[in-house]
Amino acid sequence: MVRFMKHKTYNIITLGCQMNKSDSERIAGYLENLGYKLNNDRYSSDLVVVNTCGVRQSAEDRIYGIIPRIKKKNPKAKIVLTGCLSNREDVKKRLKEKVDIWLPTVQIPNLKYQITNKFQIPNNKSQSCGYLKIKSKYSSMISAFVPIGNGCNNFCSYCVVPMARGGEVYRPAKDIVQEVENLVKIGYKEINLIAQNVNSYKSQITNNKFQTNSKLQITNSKQINFSGLLQMINSISGNFWIRFSTSHPKDMSDELIKIITNCKKVCRHIHLPAQSGDNEILKKMNRNYTAGHYKKLIKKIRRAMPDTSITTDAIVGFPGETREQFNNTAELFKEMKFDMAYVSKYSPRPGTAAENLDDNVSREEKKKREENLMRILRKTAWENNKQYIGEIVEVLIEGEKNNFYFGKIKTGKSVRIMNYELGIRNLVGKFVKVKIIKSRDFGLEGEIA
């Protein structure tokens, strides 16, 4: 690509999910290819990209503070708004004086035209994941996000993602495998495969044999599902871990559970958003499963892999959620003994089916319900974590701070490594055996074994 913008600087502000973080890494790679240099100060950068999240009102509200502040303190900066809110007409109206370029995520490859010519690209929601071909500037040297697709077809009634990102499109298995092979070759130790619903993955290539280092080869006209993709990535040689999210309870198959069990590089951590433990609410949410199905699924996973940690998402105060219905979610939390959960207070989102329902649970009541779930979670997570005491576990060291190392184990738990001998060689980016000596609700402490 032509380098035509020497010495200009950029800054990226990322709000929201892993997918947004990964998209920002791609935007950074793209801009550096154009000759831009990273500037950590948004108030002196030539170009500021705000990668927005519209999943909750609270995430949306943040940009109404951030963007006008940048425009005021750094009026010469070109402000690019991308991500979930880039297609929202009401947001465009509200920020039209402050934002220079509106960039739907799939249009990232066209950003150079907009920077140079103020040439307006047609604002159609392209169903493409071509932008995923852009090479990321990974923000970590150890752990990388590798998107396997984009968009969602599920239309959960509260969720804006299918409107904001469009329908599901998946990346060819060949591209994914090659990206992972390259990452492993240069020393990456953790690969995070991400998509809104990984379980619906289908490879888009149906012919052309391709050669990879993976022991498994894709042959003619064989469609690959997520289980097949995991097997391919698992068979890439090298010492690394594989994580994936997000799974949907309606789509997690027995085949997938079996494959995860057999793939030794796949981490023992399943993130499975329940959203609610009440059948009527689940139906109103258009989740297409019951609480009973969810519980059975977790039991199946735990039977196949007893050492797996299970994390979830839940929404409290969905329109019409009664105390009894909420109590079913609280029961689910007690019974499933989650290791971690992201609990959100429901907020109506424009364009969703639930937008038309009466948001009749008060803010205070939502807060109470959220605190209630967090109390249960802290207890179950702490009880789960106690079982690690005395065990020797493998830790991927992610960094060093104030005289301790920190990292993660295969189940996704954070570990702090205390009292290691000063002068010990740099362990960042290495797998190290650690004896767990202390546990907290959301973390463990250990010593090098």
Interface contacts to ligand SAH, rule CB under 6 A: 55-56, 158-159, 161, 196-197, 246, 248, 273, 275, 313, 315, 344, 346-347, 349
Q: Which does 144 bind (CB under 5 to 8 A by kind): ligand SF4, ligand SAH, none?
A: none
Q: Smallest distance from the beta carbon of 20 to ligand SF4, in angstroms?
A: 13
Nearest to ligand SAH of 183, 373 (CB atom) = 373
Q: Which does 315 bind (CB under 5 to 8 A by kind): ligand SAH, ligand SF4, none?
A: ligand SAH
Nearest to ligand SAH of 351, 399 (CB atom) = 351
Q: Which does 162 bind (CB under 5 to 8 A by kind): ligand SAH, ligand SF4, none?
A: ligand SF4
Nearest to ligand SAH of 313, 394 (CB atom) = 313
Nearest to ligand SAH of 18, 140 (CB atom) = 18
Q: Which does 74 bind (CB under 5 to 8 A by kind): ligand SAH, ligand SF4, none?
A: none
Q: Which two tokens stand for residue 40?
A: 């950590």
Nearest to ligand SAH of 97, 358 (CB atom) = 358
Contacts with 403 (C-beta within 8 Å, 6 or more apart), sequence order: none
DSSP H or E run through 397: strand 392-401
> Beta partners for 78?
47
Q: Which does 45 bind (CB under 5 to 8 A by kind): ligand SAH, ligand SF4, none?
A: none
Q: Smallest distance from the beta carbon of 247 to ligand SF4, in angstroms?
A: 10
Q: Smallest distance from the beta carbon of 248 to ligand SAH, in angstroms?
A: 5
β-pair type (309-316, 269-271): parallel
d(CA 304, CA 260): 9
83: left (phi over 0), alpha (psi -120 to 50) or beta: left
- Angle, vertex CA 56, rays to CA 54 and CA 61, nearest 5: 75
Contacts with 93 (C-beta within 8 Å, 6 or more apart), sequence order: none
Q: Smallest distance from the beta carbon of 19 to ligand SAH, in angstroms?
A: 9
Q: Which does 412 bind (CB under 5 to 8 A by kind): ligand SAH, ligand SF4, none?
A: none
Nearest to ligand SF4 of 144, 161 (CB atom) = 161
The count of other CB atoms within 10 Å of the CB of residue 26 is: 22
Burial-class residue 220 by CB neighbours within 10 Å (0-12, 13-18, 19+).
exposed
Cis peptide before 246 (omega within 30 of 0): yes
List the one residue out of 270, 281, 265 whose CA is nearest residue 307.
270
Q: Which two tokens stand for residue 181?
A: 């092979």
Nearest to ligand SF4 of 64, 155 (CB atom) = 155
Nearest to ligand SF4 of 168, 175 (CB atom) = 168
Q: Smallest distance from the beta carbon of 246 to ligand SAH, in angstroms?
A: 4
Q: Smallest distance from the beta carbon of 170 to ligand SAH, in angstroms?
A: 15
Q: Smallest distance from the beta carbon of 349 to ligand SF4, in angstroms?
A: 10
Q: Which does 346 bind (CB under 5 to 8 A by kind): ligand SF4, ligand SAH, none?
A: ligand SAH
d(CA 105, CA 115): 15
Which DSSP state fits 135?
A: P
Nearest to ligand SF4 of 159, 361 (CB atom) = 159
The count of other CB atoms within 10 Å of the CB of residue 286 is: 15
Q: Which does 155 bind (CB under 5 to 8 A by kind): ligand SAH, ligand SF4, none?
A: ligand SF4
- Cα distances (Å, whole numbers) of residue 293 to 249, 250, 278, 282, 364: 8, 8, 12, 11, 31
Q: Smallest distance from the beta carbon of 163 to ligand SF4, in angstroms?
A: 9
d(CA 386, CA 353): 42
Q: Which does 114 bind (CB under 5 to 8 A by kind): ligand SF4, ligand SAH, none?
A: none
Chain residues binding ligand SF4 by CB under 6 A are: 152, 154-156, 159, 161-162, 196-197, 248
